[in-house]
Amino acid sequence: MTVNFVLNGKAVSLVIAANRRLIDMLRDSLGLTGTKEGCGIGECGACTVLMNGEAVNSCLILAGQVEGAEIVTIEAIAKHGTLHPVQENFLQYGAVQCGFCTPGMVLSTYALLQTNPQPSEHEIAAAISGNLCRCTGYKQILEAVQKTVEEMNSAPSEHGRS
């Protein structure tokens, strides 16, 4: 089948088997390896990408479901060689250890901030609840997101809400 969609702001037309998953399309067919596969059953969130602005597990999305969709991967979050404030603060606050969960965690956070620029700690925790981290214990992740919220609400940025 042929699937037409927008990937990181660019139109894509891809001939692919209907039973291929979005994660396989991204990693194997399109060479975007920032999206990680953890469990393969939608439990860990390592494969999180944005689909039409919503955080989704790309291991659960089949090729046909992508038709006409807008997909955003971790590769599109940094702009012009500059990390997004979420990425910067993950580094600064030690929210990145092994790094395996980081792309999905960043995208879940990014999706939250696009719709809720001033989330509470409870709302942040709920937004990343589908992303498992086996290294940090979440304290550093919550701190990084809270700092990002403060920064993005105190000064205009090219990474601000669109």
**What are the tens digits of pLDDT across the range 16-45?**
999 999 999 999 999 999 999 999 999 999
Q: Are 111 and 127 in contact (CB under 8 A)?
A: yes
The whole-number pLDDT of residue 159 equals 53
| Identity at 48, one-letter amino acid code | T
Average pLDDT over residues 139-148: 95
70-72 and 2-7 strand pairing:
parallel
Which is it for the CA torsion 23, 28, 30, 35, positive or negative? positive
Q: What percent of the chain has pLDDT over 70?
A: 95
pLDDT band at 161 (very low <50, low <70, confident <90, very high): very low
**What are the tens digits of pLDDT across the range 68-113?**
999 999 999 999 999 999 999 999 999 998 889 999 999 999 999 9
Query: For residues 105 and 63, what is the distance between their CA atoms, to the nearest angstrom?
Result: 23
Domains parsed from the chain with CATH numbers: 2-75 (3.10.20.30), 85-154 (1.10.150.120)
pLDDT band at 158 (very low <50, low <70, confident <90, very high): low
Query: For residues 30 and 110, what is the distance between their CA atoms, to the nearest angstrom?
Result: 22
DSSP letter string over 76-131? Answer: GTSBTTB--HHHHHHHHTT--SS-SSHHHHHHHHHHHHHH-SS--HHHHHHHTTT-
List 4's β-bridge partners, or say none: 13
pTM reported for the whole predicted model:
0.92
The whole-number pLDDT of residue 130 equals 94
The whole-number pLDDT of residue 97 equals 86
Average pLDDT over residues 46-60: 98
